[in-house]
Chain A
Amino acid sequence: MISNSLNRKIFTLLKVQYSNMLEYRVEIALWAISGIIPFFMLNIWTNNNLNESINISDIMLSRYFLCAFFVRQFSVVWVVFSFEEDSLLGRVSPYLIQPLNPFFRYFAQHIAEQITRFPFALIIAFFFFIFNPESIWIPNLSILFLSTISTFLSFLIQFLIQSIVACFCFWTEKASSIERLLFIPTLFLSGLLAPVASFPEYVKSWIYLTPFPYLIDFPANLLSGNKTNVFGGLSMQILWIVFLFLVFRKIWSAGTKKYTAMGS
């Protein structure tokens, strides 16, 4: 009975958000295009033969960056911006009354957006293969399955981090600047611009303890068939998710107590 109603809730949320997202197809296509930075980076890497020094062949590197592109496409999170807007305009109040944590709404929004985005990402990948026909490969099913899971886990990590930041809205009103701050290490350390394998030793020694390499580098390595520690990576992702979830629960309950409805 309970699971039935929960199923219905999830289904309805997803359906509503998906039809909402379909309205913004062009937007989402453009957004997908804005994620092509990894391809420019690939161009720098191969055009200057930088990959020779890190023992990754041209083909493996191009697969890596393609996968990095894919992982990034399906782990983009913007919950803090939505929440900030909703909280500044006073829309959070009605959400809080509903018997559903408002973050489920945002979560469904993100999933729906990813579904809408999928075909565009495939088209971009198709063009990538036209220009780089030698890098075509078909990952086997188990790899595909595992990397889908790890991409989803990466999305969850980022979603939780941003939700925690979004909760700062209860105190400061403008939390998106904190998110912009956190985006910088995400950009440079996650492996979107350069594979973590190429980082200097003094960074590699501590980076695997932070959540950053598990956001892009780990799922992308897994999917592209570069060498990586599957078990270690997945367990670190899960550990971070559990930890962040606990933090989120705490800060959410503290924040809602602090909440003073805007515009009312």
Chain B
Amino acid sequence: MNLRKYLKVYKNFLHTSLAAELEYKTNILIDLITAILSLIGSIFLISIFFQNNATIGGWEFEEALIIQSIYTILNGITNTWFNPNLTEIVKHIREGTLDFVLLKPIDSQFFISLKKINPSGFLEIILGFCLLLFCMRINQINLNLSFLTLFLITIICSIFILYSLWFFICTTTIWFVKTWNAIEVLRSFLYIGRFPLNSFSFSLRIFFSVFIPIAFITTIPSEVFLGVSQLWKILLEVIVATVFLITSRKFWLFALKFYSSASS
């Protein structure tokens, strides 16, 4: 019954935010071009790396493209849901409108995380999937059910980790009020997800798997996709994702205790 209510509310969210976004049609078109150019740009960058080298960190060009496509999909998801919603938290807190969210008879994290949607991110997701299909052809990967479920599990875990990272940073707004630039720092770190983890030096590899688990987000799904991932890595990713999700939830509830409205 509860789930039905949330589904119904979400349908309304979708409806209103799509209607609002479609007001700016040229904007969406420009965003589409941006997404395409950005993909071309990163493939160009990778091709520079592979100009005179056959492998980078043990990855061939065709394999590195898989990381690129998964990055594009995840970036599309970030632009569709995380970016428009979670940056809104900053606004809610600065202007004191978080009061209205908290008063609603609905879970505040649900409301804050899914209220808005940015349709131009969809194209990035589609682009990513097209590249992934292309990669499947050039890497000669055969689809089967177990492989597909494993891939889905890892990519869902990646989405959860990514969401939790964003949510963490945005929740700190309750104390620091302005966190635009903390988001920029996160963005610049996430940029690393375009490249295989093994191409970095040992110390950075540790940093990107322990402190900011960017390594998990793109590299492990790509390895699963290539069929070279070990089981413990997949299990580890599931555990990390669960821990992140639970902690982000706890952290939000904890932070709310410190929320002291604006102008009152």
Hey, which bits of chain A sit against chain B, CB under 8 A? 24, 26-28, 30-31, 33-37, 40, 43-44, 47-50, 52-53, 172, 174, 177-178, 180-181, 184-185, 187-188, 193-194, 198-200, 203
Contact = CB atoms under 8 A, between A and B. Distances in A.
Would you list the 10 A-B pairs with minimal beta carbon distance, nearest first? A53-B52, A188-B41, A30-B181, A34-B184, A34-B188, A184-B37, A34-B185, A31-B181, A177-B30, A181-B34
A50 B48 CA distance: 9
Nearest to B184: A34
Given A44-B200, A184-B38, A37 B188 contact: yes
28 contacts: A26-B176, A27-B178, A27-B180, A30-B181, A30-B182, A30-B184, A31-B184, A34-B188, A36-B188, A40-B191, A40-B204, A44-B49, A44-B199, A44-B200, A47-B199, A48-B49, A48-B53, A48-B56, A53-B53, A174-B27, A178-B30, A180-B30, A181-B33, A181-B34, A181-B37, A184-B37, A188-B41, A194-B45
A193 B42 CA distance: 10
Contact of A40 (B42, B181, B185, B200): B200
A190 to B, nearest CB: 11
A43 B185 contact: no
A181 B36 CA distance: 10
A34 B56 CA distance: 25
**How many residues of B sit at the interface, in one of the four size bands?**
35 or more
A24 B30 contact: no
Interface of B: 24, 26-27, 30-31, 33-34, 37-38, 41-42, 44-45, 47-49, 51-53, 56-57, 176, 178, 180-182, 184-185, 187-188, 191-192, 195, 199-201, 204
B45 A193 contact: yes
Contacts of A184: 34, 37-38, 41
A53 B181 CA distance: 37
A258 B98 CA distance: 37
A43 B37 contact: no
Given A47-B200, A48-B199, A174-B27, A37 B191 contact: yes
Contacts of A27: 178, 180-181
Contacts of A177: 27, 30-31, 34
Nearest to B208: A40
Contact of A43 (B24, B30, B204): B204
B59 to A, nearest CB: 10
Contact of B185 (A33, A174, A188): A33
A35 B34 CA distance: 21
